[in-house]
Amino acid sequence: MDGGQKIDCFNIVMADGRRHVSHQFRCFLCGKKDGAKVHCVEECCIAPGGTKIPYFHVTCARQAGLEVSSDPDFVLACYRHANSSFVFRARLEDFMEIEIMRYSEKAQMKNLLKISNPMSWDHASRLFHSAVDVLRTLGWAWRWAEWWVESGDNWEPLIRDDQNEEEMTDKELKRVESTPESRCDDARRCRLAALGAALRNRDYDKIEGDDQEPLERALMAVMSTPSLVGPLKQKEKEFYVTWFSLAYRSGAPRLGFGDHKTPVASDSYCLHQADGSLKFELGARPLPGKTPPEKENGFFEPRVDEPDDFLQILTSGSPIKKKRQRQSA
């Protein structure tokens, strides 16, 4: 009560402290049980690849690009149920929109990178901060790549007032058809999960020069995967790769990479089920982009045989513990 006026605290985080802090739930991103966690706004939501309701730390959800908002009420939505403006492709489009605004409505995307309209410090700052936000999301791909492969995303085309969606073709709407099987192949080809782990641990800093060409090759492979980012033109790909590379090399703490990364669990779904190796570290996996792409593969390096949990049913507990239990039985 406040001066005799009743205040509704139902939608305030921690209003129900016991349920939010309960250590029986893991954050479905970092895998840790400590701290306050919030479940998806959809009460009937089931975790991708699993059978339980997903809970998230708010900080982890923000960094990974999930929908977290508080206007007018607090809302946290998982990868499946997030508003279409929060999916990875939509974030890329919002980033590009910042640059498009520098040009007249008649400007063509093929002229996007030509020096015809000087860039102010204010505009460069907006681009840089947006690049950091998108790259930070990509640094969690070691986790959310599995959800994308299984469920895709709920991206929707932006229809202008002078357009009629029913009269437009899929090509005009920039729609990209995909299936779980085709997305699985795409994620493996561009090494999406491995790139997320490499970014998180700043593996491109370990050998001089890896933060240049190898990093750009790895980013270009992702930007050349239409099922994830849309049918981009070459100039658009180069624009994203340029700014994401700058954001990485800046070492901005807000990226959440290296010394600034969020701690994650070393068991449960943070491990590959096949061999118990860590998903969030490269381990024995080669650095994405280190090997030059094959000509016949376009922007993609030769196929790498590496573990992943794509299209697998999550198992409870630690793969390592289960292996030990089988050996001792």
pLDDT digits (tens, 9 = 90+) for 32-54: 998 888 888 888 888 766 667 88
Q: What is the DSSP letter of 254?
A: G
Q: Is the pLDDT of residue 287 over 90?
A: yes
Quick check: 117 pLDDT over 70?
Answer: no
| Residue-range domain boundaries for the chain | 13-82, 84-156+178-328
Residues 6+ apart with CB under 8 A from 312: 49, 273
- Which one of 14-28, 60-74, 241-255 scores highest in mean pLDDT? 241-255
Q: What's the rounded Cα separation, in Å, for the pair 215 and 131?
A: 15
- Label residue 277 left, alpha or beta by phi (over 0 means left) and psi (-120 to 50 means alpha): beta
Across 97-106, 133-142, 270-279, least confident range: 97-106
CB 38 within 8 A of CB 14: no
Contact status, residue 133 vs residue 66, Cβ threshold 8 Å = no
% pLDDT > 70, the chain:
82
> Confidence class of residue 22 from pLDDT cuts 50, 70 and 90?
low
pLDDT of 136 above 70: yes
pLDDT at 15 over 80: no
Long-range contacts of 67-73 (CB under 8 A, 24+ apart): 73/11
Q: What is residue 234's predicted lDDT score, i.e. its pLDDT?
A: 96
| pLDDT(17) > 50 | no
Per the CB < 8 A criterion, the answer to whether 91 and 133 are in contact is yes
As a whole number, the mean pLDDT across the chain is 85
Compute the distance between CA of residue 281 and CA of residue 285 in angstroms, rounded to an integer: 9
pLDDT: which is higher, 22 or 75: 75
The DSSP 8-state label assigned to residue 299 in this structure reads: T
Furthest-apart CA atoms within the chain: distance in Å: 73
- The pLDDT tens digits of the residues spanning 51-70 come to 678 899 999 999 999 999 87
75 phi and psi, to 5 degrees?
-135, 135
Average pLDDT over every residue of 88-111:
75
Task: Give residue 7's pLDDT band: very low, low, confident or very high (50, 70, 90).
Answer: low
203 or 74, greater pLDDT = 203
Helix (H) or strand (E) segment spanning residue 272: none
Q: Is the dihedral of CA 85, 90, 95, 96 positive or negative?
A: negative
Q: What is the pLDDT of residue 23?
A: 64
| Residue 151 burial class via C-beta count within 10 angstroms: exposed 0-12, middle 13-18, buried 19 and up | middle
Which two structure tokens, joined as six digits, stand for 4?
């005799």
pTM of the shown model: 0.85
The two beta strands, 55-56 and 67-69, are unpaired
pLDDT band at 4 (very low <50, low <70, confident <90, very high): low
